């Protein structure tokens, strides 16, 4: 009997926003897996840190910083092979994922490589989308309102077109795209009411009107345009 | 000092998919609040049931079944007044919400009534969106893909227009709108690959290709059209 690969969502950052199921799986884990970027510390691992048992084995997939896809593919290929070897011995592997594994998560790259040959269980997590809304005090969508999630790296023209026809909009992965996003939102007359959130639920969290946001944003930042959400009944 | 109103997301249904923070707040609660629909049992309360302390006070807002808004408004007005009276005495109130309070949640109606006068803290929860994706084994969005969330009650023409231009689409609140949604999805040639999920993560969960879905769907059901999500790197 092969082991089970668990893709475990850990939520947006505050350790107590992980689910009871995620906590139980981590506390009982013998083998953990997670990616790192160019040797930097893993955000996912930091969320789970307090619960990680001593003597656990950790499979670290270090993804090099590169525009080319091949080096990252090689890192996931090698990680998948290491995980498969553990599963083949009947042992489970708990893969740590910030947020939710199937919502802009790198766990998908392992899922694609391993889900045909092995049992994979996804433990959904609180996404940064609802965490940012919670921290900003901004309802996202009610009744028959629509919600659109857009990644910040999209081209300016596409962002403009998608935001213009939308109700509530959430823009993920703001990072270095902040100036472009500001220009689009300004042009559309939506800066008033737009909210910038950085590292939601962590001690270093920032929540500001977009107009007062800093000039540089980290990858884990978001802009909320919730013109559609009407919390009144 | 007034008490704090906590809007606590409980996740999609499986009790262990609530967050550690939600569990701690419920276990320590002296006063709970939640809405019911026409006297039916509360789904949110059922998720939390195992953790609810004995002798807790429960403020139940029973919302009558009615097309008119006024009766529901009156129920929330009265509930908000009861909650305010507790907060005024310096006691906290924990409001139970299935999913996430700011994502199509009725907690917003209390938030609108009470957030100006009282401290309100939102505890985000796992939404049915990522829970359904997890159970269906369908990644929602990766890299620069967009995600669109549409409520099933929207008019047919709007649904068609919104689905046509989208990548990954999630249709919430399918319920009695299933035949209309099927017709739109068929017309757009998207039935192959469409997945129907009902009561995700509960023992009575149903996950089926849309083509094999039953003829009637409950309110807590969803259709996933994830044509955009490519889990490969």
Q: What phi and psi values does residue A96 have, to the nearest 5 degrees?
A: -85, 130
Average pLDDT over residues B217-230: 91
- Which pLDDT value is given to residue B195? 98
**Domain A4-123 maps to which CATH number in 3.40.960.10, 3.20.20.70, 3.90.1150.10, 3.40.1010.10?**
3.40.1010.10
Percent of all residues in chain B with a pLDDT value above 90, rounded to a whole number: 94
Residue A163: which residues within 8 A CB-CB, separation 6 or more?
A: A148, A150, A169, A184, A185, A188, A190, A225
Q: What phi and psi values does residue A225 have, to the nearest 5 degrees?
A: -120, 90
- CB-nearest to A124 from B102, B126, B141 is B126
- Which pLDDT value is given to residue B67? 86
- CB-nearest to B108 from A20, A23, A142 is A142
Q: Which of residues 112-141 of A touch B (CB under 8 A)?
A: 112, 115, 120, 122-127, 130-131, 133-135, 137-141
> Please, how many CA atoms are within 13 Å of residue B216, restricted to the half-sphere of its CB?
1
* Coil, helix or strand at residue B106: coil
For residue B128 the two structure tokens come to 């049915």
- Which pLDDT value is given to residue B146? 96
Neighbours of A28 (CB within 10 A): 12
- Which pLDDT value is given to residue B211? 97
Average pLDDT over residues B115-139: 98
- Which pLDDT value is given to residue A109? 96
CB contact under 8 A, B141 and A103: yes
Which of A128, A133, A139 should one mutate to test binding to chain B, selecting the residue with the greatest count of B CBs within 10 A? A139
Q: Is A100 on the interface with B (CB under 8 A)?
A: yes
How close A113 gets to chain B, by Cα (Å)? 8
Per DSSP, what are the bridge partners of residue A195? A209, A224
Average pLDDT over residues B109-121: 97
Q: Which of residues 46-75 of B touch A (CB under 8 A)?
A: 69, 72-73
Fold type of domain B128-225: 3.30.950
- Which pLDDT value is given to residue B197? 98
For residue A35 the two structure tokens come to 């990616």
Confidence band, pLDDT 50/70/90 cuts, at residue B198: very high
- Which pLDDT value is given to residue A30? 98
Confidence band, pLDDT 50/70/90 cuts, at residue B231: confident
Which chain B residue is nearest to residue A24, measuring alpha carbons?
A: B16
pLDDT in tens, chain A (233 residues): 999 999 999 999 999 999 999 999 999 999 999 999 999 999 999 999 999 999 999 999 999 988 899 999 999 999 999 999 999 999 999 999 999 999 999 999 999 999 999 999 999 999 999 999 999 999 999 999 999 999 999 999 999 999 998 999 999 999 999 999 999 999 999 999 999 999 999 999 999 999 999 999 999 999 999 977 888 88
Q: Which of residues 10-29 of A touch B (CB under 8 A)?
A: 11-12, 14-21, 23-24
Q: Which range among A15-24, A222-231, B16-25, B32-41 shows the weakest confidence by mean pLDDT?
A: A222-231
- Which pLDDT value is given to residue B2? 97
Confidence band, pLDDT 50/70/90 cuts, at residue B43: very high
* Domain ranges in chain B with CATH number 3.30.950.10: 128-225
Would you tell me the crossing angle of helices A107-114 and A70-88 to the nearest 10 degrees? 60
* Domain ranges in chain B with CATH number 3.40.1010.10: 4-123
Q: What phi and psi values does residue B170 have, to the nearest 5 degrees?
A: -120, 125
- 0.90 cut: is pTM over it? yes
Q: When comparing pLDDT for B165 and B15, which is higher? A: B15
């Amino acid at each position: 009997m092969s082991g089970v690969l668990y893709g475990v969502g850990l939520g947006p950052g505050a350790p107590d926003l992980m689910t009871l199921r995620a906590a139980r799986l981590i506390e009982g884990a013998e083998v953990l897996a997670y990616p790192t970027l160019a040797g930097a510390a893993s955000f996912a691992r930091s969320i789970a840190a307090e619960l990680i048992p001593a003597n656990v084995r950790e499979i670290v997939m270090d993804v090099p910083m590169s525009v080319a896809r091949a080096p990252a593919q090689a890192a996931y290929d090698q990680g998948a092979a290491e995980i498969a070897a553990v599963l083949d011995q009947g042992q489970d592997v708990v893969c740590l994922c910030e947020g939710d594994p199937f919502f802009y998560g790198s766990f998908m790259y392992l899922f694609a490589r391993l889900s045909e040959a092995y049992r994979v269980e996804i433990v959904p997590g609180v996404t940064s989308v609802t965490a940012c809304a919670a921290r900003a005090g901004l309802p996202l969508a009610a009744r028959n309102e629509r919600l659109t999630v857009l990644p910040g790296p999209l081209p300016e023209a596409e962002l403009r077109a998608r935001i213009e026809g939308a109700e509530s909009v959430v823009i993920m992965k703001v990072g270095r795209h902040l100036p472009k996003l500001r220009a689009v939102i300004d042009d559309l007359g939506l800066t008033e009411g737009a909210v910038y959130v950085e590292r939601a639920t962590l001690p270093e969290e920032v929540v500001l009107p977009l107009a007062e946001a800093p000039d540089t944003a980290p990858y884990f930042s978001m802009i909320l345009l919730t013109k559609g959400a009407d919390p009144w009944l």
